[in-house]
Every structure is written in structure tokens, then in C-alpha cells.
Amino acid sequence: MIAKENLVTLDAPDGYRVLTSFGRVTASATRQHNMLRATFRSIGAFIGLAPVEYLTDAERAREEVLEDLRVKASQLGADAVIKIRFEAVEAQDGSVDVLAYGEAVRLAPKNYAA
């Protein structure tokens, strides 16, 4: 499975170069607006709950798409996803759509001779 540090918006993590490209991978997630959850998030923020207890719908959707990117890239044989971009839209009904895409690659240390 691809490590979190190998999901980057950069062309490659520091000290590495792209050995093989497997092409683009995409993922999307939708979180429906939940008034009750939003109310509890607000109360949690007010009383000082830990941030994980009141993550926003967009943040939860972002985590879902990153996990999906990680799985899809691993299935292709990649050990990293580079050049990750996000798009997020909040609909009028309060739901949140998040799309992420990047390039699935296999990395090698810069000093590695292929």
C-alpha cells in the first residue's frame, strides 16, 4: 500500500525521481449535508473537542478520495501518486463533492541507476 508521504502535489518527493508512470488516477466522493452532524460539530468546536471529532464534510470527503487514489494506484503497481490536484464543490443542498486526480508512478532514489 502506498504510504501517505508518497501522496504529493509535487512532481516527485525530495530525493526521488519517477522511474515508471502508470498514468492518471482519479477518485471522487460525495458527502451529503447532515444538519444534526453540523450542529454537533459546532457544539464540539465550542466546548473544545479534538479536531478529529468535528471534521468537516469536505475534509472527510478529501480523506476518502486520497484513500481511493492510494488503492487504485497500488493496484496498478505504483508506489506513489504525484501531481495531486483537488476540486471541491458545495451544492445548494449543502452536500459536498470532492474530486482528486494525480499521476500513479513508481519512484526511485535519485542516485538509483536503472
Q: Which domains does the chain have, with CATH numbers?
A: 4-109 (3.30.110.70)
Residues counted in the chain: 114
The confidence score (pLDDT) of residue 76 equals 96
Tell me whether residue 80 is exposed, middle or buried, using C-beta atoms within 10 angstroms of its C-beta: 0 to 12, 13 to 18, 19 or more.
Answer: buried
Q: With the CA atoms of 64, 12, 87 and 69 taken in that order, what torsion angle do they form, in degrees rounded to the nearest 10?
A: -30
What number is the average pLDDT over the span 19-43?
Answer: 78
3-state secondary structure of 59: helix
Distance between alpha carbon 9 and the CA centroid of its chain, in Å? 10
Please give the average per-residue pLDDT across 23-36, as a whole number. Answer: 82
| Predicted local distance difference test score (pLDDT) of residue 112 | 67
In Å, how far are 1, 8, 112 from 5, measured between CA atoms?
12, 7, 20
Question: What does pTM read for this prediction?
Answer: 0.74
Of 84, 99, 86, 112, which is closest to residue 6 (Cα–Cα)?
A: 84
Per-residue pLDDT of 70-105, as tens digits, reads 999 999 999 999 999 999 887 777 778 899 999 999
Which helix (H) or strand (E) covers residue 109, if one does? strand 96-109
35-50 pLDDT tens trace: 555 565 566 666 666 5
Q: Do 17 and 68 touch, CB atoms closer than 8 A?
A: no
pLDDT of residue 88: 86
